[in-house]
Chains A and B, each alone.
Chain A
C-alpha cells in the first residue's frame, strides 16, 4: 500500500523555467511533509518541509505548497538550474518524537536542460 505517491517518474524543464513536482498521499495522520533531492551515489539531501498547519513554505528558489483537502503537495523550483537535475522524493510523517518515521514517495527524476 503506497501511502505516498509521485505519479510522474520523470520531468524535463528548460533552464530558467519553473519546475513543478507533485506528490499525493493517502494517510490523514501525516502532519508534516518534506522534499529530498538525491544525486546518484549520494544519500538524500533535505530541501524543504511544511507542517500541516501551513499551506505554503518558501526557501529561496524552492516553495512547497500543501493542499490538505486534496491530500496533495507540490514543490516549485524557480528558476530551474542545471544543478537541480536529480531525483526528488517527497516524504511524509507524523511527529512521534525522536522515533518518528518518514514514508517516501517513489521519486521524480528532474532534468533541467540548457
Chain B
C-alpha cells in the first residue's frame, strides 16, 4: 500500500467545471509535489511545496491552482481545463534527509471532456 493517498482515483470533468484533486501523506515529509504524466511519457513536474510554501512552479497555466493547507495535505484546484489536460496527476512527498527519494501516490486519472 502506498503511503501517499490520492483522491479521487478517476475524475471526468467538463471544460467549465471546477474540481479539486487531493493528496495526503502521514510520513512527516515537509516537501510535497504535483507531477503530470501523459501516456508513454515521463512524469513532468508541476509544483513543489516546501514547508507549506510554494517553492517551485514550472510555468504551469493558472487554470491549475495548488494549495497546501498543512504539512500533510496537498490540493490541486482545477478550473476551465482543456481536453489536452487529460492525464494522470501524481502527488509525491519527500523527506528531508540527503538524497531522499520521492514517494508517489497512485495518481488521479483525469479526463477533460
- Residues of A at under 8 Å CB distance from B? 4, 32, 34, 36, 41-46, 49, 51, 89, 91, 95, 97-107
Number of interface residues of B (CB under 8 A): 32
Q: Is B45 an interface residue (CB 8 A)?
A: yes
For B104, the closest partner residue in chain A by CB is A43
Contacts of A99 in B (CB 8 A): 31, 48, 50, 55-56
Interface centre among A36, A45, A102, by most B CB within 10 Å?
A: A102
Interface centre among A36, A98, A99, A102, by most B CB within 10 Å?
A: A98
For B29, the closest partner residue in chain A by CB is A98
For B53, the closest partner residue in chain A by CB is A99
Of B2, B4, B94, the residue contacting A100 (CB under 8 A) is B94
B29-56 Cβ-contact flags toward A at 8 Å (1 or 0)? 1110100000011111100101100011
Bound Cα distance from A89 to B104, whole angstroms: 13
Give min CB distance, B8 to chain A, whole Å: 13
Contacts of A36 in B (CB 8 A): 104
- Residues of B at under 8 Å CB distance from A? 2, 4, 6, 29-31, 33, 40-45, 48, 50-51, 55-56, 90, 92, 94, 96, 98-99, 101-107, 109
For A94, the closest partner residue in chain B by CB is B99
**Shortest 6 CB-CB contacts between residues of A and residues of B:** A43-B104, A104-B42, A98-B31, A99-B55, A99-B50, A46-B101
Q: Is the CB of B99 within 8 A of A95?
A: yes
Contacts of A41 in B (CB 8 A): 106, 109
Known: A99-B31, A99-B48, A101-B48. A34 touches B101 (CB 8 A): yes
Given A98-B30, A104-B44, A107-B40, 9 extra CB contacts under 8 A: A42-B107, A43-B92, A43-B105, A44-B90, A44-B104, A89-B43, A97-B96, A98-B51, A99-B50
Give min CB distance, B12 to chain A, whole Å: 16
Contacts of A45 in B (CB 8 A): 104
